[in-house]
Amino acid sequence: MSQRPDPAAFPADFLFGAATAAYQIEGSTTAGGRGRSIWDTFSAIPGKIRDGDTGEVAADHYNRFRDDVKLMADLGLRSYRFSIAWPRIQPGGRGPVNQQGLDFYKQLVDELLANGIEPWVTLYHWDLPDELEQAGGWPARETAERFAEYADLTAGALSDRIRFWTTLNEPWCSAFLGYASGEHAPGRHDQAASIAAVHHLLLGHGLAVQALRGHGVEQAGLTVNLYPVTPVDDDPAVLDVARRIDGLQNRLFLDPVLKGAYPEDVRADLAPLTDFAFERPGDAETIATPIDVLGVNYYSRHRATVSAMPGVAQGGVAGPHGDPTAMGWEVDPTGLTEILVRIKDDYREIPIYVTENGSAYDDEVVDGAVHDVERTEYVASHVAACADAIEQGVPLKGYFLWSLLDNFEWAHGYAKRFGMVHVDYATQERTVKDSGRWYADFVRSHRDLQR
Ligand code: IFM
């Protein structure tokens, strides 16, 4: 069923934009003094990434950023969310700034500002300097301290030109895919370590927010990936699986940041794995350092069942309803409204930005066009879901489509395309897809209302 949003449903200052992440688009992984990240190391291990792909070239954004910003301007985007590669700023994760790395982001930001596009920065989108992983990675407390140092250095150089700062992108993925299932870098299989990683990621977030404040940043927060969790039936065992999945996916991150404590039921669930000995007095307060904005990444809904699932949840996620995306993910815009309303109802009325939302489909360029009907429908219906949330009183302030460009989709390599702009990886030619044109038209009509 087609659901088309009304631009008038969004406030005048609503930020419509698109998002990317450094390792997924930049390429040039050894240029400008960049150090090695865990993703360089992980991608080099045979069998870890589909087709042996790596981020070495990616969408070559490092060399093409001016053209890419021009493309964003042509599309009428109001904001661009990108991430900074920590190993470009501190090649080994410690010590002084690598000026060449910083200069790249200064130039990018200046180009955005010159084109009237609001820059939105994420400090950590998964590319941990490899030396820090060798020293223990996120399960080690020192990584949180190093992250705060990196945030301090970066904000010292860029806070005069960037208003919006996100500390972490999707700490759930960094902790559980990186240290428990091993599907992502650094590829470890240690469930206890993954819980320590959750704690130190969140601690690093709190310390980083404090560092950002020292540079006068007034719009700081983190981005979490949230899923509504629906039990497949009302069998008590299924309801308990749903509670546990919701606990690990959503509340384990939202509660400490917005309520100041880990949820007691999740602590109890995790007791066989960890005694939380990594917690120190004062950590809970640091993690709950007030934030100004909450970033929410939404892709799909989880359906809980009792079939065995590997990993710490020990529950199960049932198959999707309806036609899934190329990732196998259920398409459900109502889940976006639901999760946004839940934050207002269960937590508080914090300004929220949807910092990622999008879908992968098997696109084809035909006569210079990509007729991605399903993605267009996906985007339109999810933007409409944002309007529904606003109508229900959610202080939603912006929406970023994932992604501006087709890019390196982590363990899936280049096989999954999420872009509103198609990238031909052989030639690096960019082709705006029909979904990108639809989004650009919508953003333009929203802008025109303000004239
Ligand atoms: O590509 C990723 C992104 O890096 C983080 N959020 C989900 C996207 C799609 O899987």
Instruction: Please name the residue that has the structure tokens 């749903």.
Output: 242
* pLDDT tens-digit readout, 113-125: 999 999 999 999 9
Amino acid at 440: A
User: Is 123 exposed, middle or buried (CB count within 10 Å of its CB: 0-12, 13-18, 19+)?
Assistant: buried
Cβ-Cβ contacts under 8 Å for 95 (sequence gap 6 or more): none
Beta strand 352-356 with 293-297: parallel, antiparallel or unpaired? parallel
Counted residue by residue, the chain has a size of 451
Q: Does the beta carbon of 406 sit less than 6 angstroms from any atom of ligand 1? A: no
pLDDT above 50: residue 312: no
Q: For residue 24, give every residue at least 6 positions away whose Cβ sits within 8 Å of its Cβ, in sequence order, or none.
A: 55, 58, 59, 125, 403, 407, 408, 409, 410
Closest-lying ligand 1 atom to the alpha carbon of residue 297 = 6
Residue 317 pLDDT = 80
| CA 409 to ligand 1: nearest atom | 1
Closest ligand 1 atom, CA of 402?
8
- pLDDT of residue 438 exceeding 50: yes
Structure tokens at 367: 């006569």
Q: Is 283 helix (H, G, I), strand (E, B) or coil?
A: helix
**Which uninterrupted H or E stretch holds 167?**
strand 164-169
Question: What digits encode the pLDDT tens for the residues 230-255?
Answer: 999 999 999 999 999 999 999 999 99
Residue 273 lies in a domain: no
| Residue to substitute in 174, 410, 423 for testing ligand 1 pocket (most ligand atoms within 8 angstroms of CB) | 410
Q: Is residue 404 part of a domain?
A: yes
Catalytic, out of 133, 338, 356, 409: 356
- Confirm whether 280 is domain-assigned: no
Helix, strand, coil shares of the chain as percentages rounded to 5? Answer: 45, 15, 40
What pLDDT was estimated at residue 151? 99
Nearest CA to ligand 1 atom 10: 409
- Res. 309: pLDDT tops 70: no
Handedness of CA 156, 162, 164, 166 (dihedral sign): negative
Domain assignment present for 257: no
What pLDDT score does 310 carry? 45
Is residue 69 pLDDT above 80, yes or no?
Answer: yes
Q: What is the pLDDT of residues 252-294, one digit of tens each?
A: 999 999 999 999 999 999 999 999 999 999 999 999 999 999 9
> What is the pLDDT, as a whole number, of residue 307?
63
Host domain of residue 189: 7-250+287-449
pLDDT beyond 50 at 403: yes
The reported pLDDT for the residue numbered 451 is 82
| 230 residue type, one letter | T
Q: Which atom of ligand 1 is nearest to the CA of 360?
A: 9
CA distance 258 to 290: 8
Is residue 236 situated within a structural domain? Answer: yes
pTM above 0.85, yes or no: yes
Average pLDDT score, the chain: 96
Residue 67 in domain: yes
- Mark whether 218 is an active-site residue: no
CATH number assigned to the domain comprising residue 125: 3.20.20.80
CB of residue 42 inside a 6 A radius of ligand 1: no
Verify whether ligand 1 is closer than 6 Å to residue 172 (CB atom). no
Average the pLDDT over 23-52 and give the result.
98
Strands (E), 111-261: 118-124, 164-169, 219-225, 229-231
Looking at the structure of the chain, the number of domains it has is 1
User: Residue 198 and residue 204: Cα distance in Å, rounded?
Assistant: 10
416, 410 Cβ separation under 8 angstroms: no
Q: Exposed, middle or buried, 21 (CB in 10 Å: 0-12/13-18/19+)? A: buried
Cβ-based burial of 157 (10 A; exposed 0-12, middle 13-18, buried ≥19): middle
Residue 402 Cβ contacting ligand 1 at under 6 Å: yes
Provide the token pair at 227: 């899923």
pLDDT in tens, 154-209: 999 999 999 999 999 999 999 999 999 999 999 999 999 999 999 999 999 999 99
Q: In degrees to the nearest 10, what's the CA dihedral of 192, 198, 200, 203? A: -150
Which pLDDT band holds residue 95 (cuts at 50, 70, 90)? very high
In a domain, residue 347? The reply is yes
Residue 260 lies in a domain: no
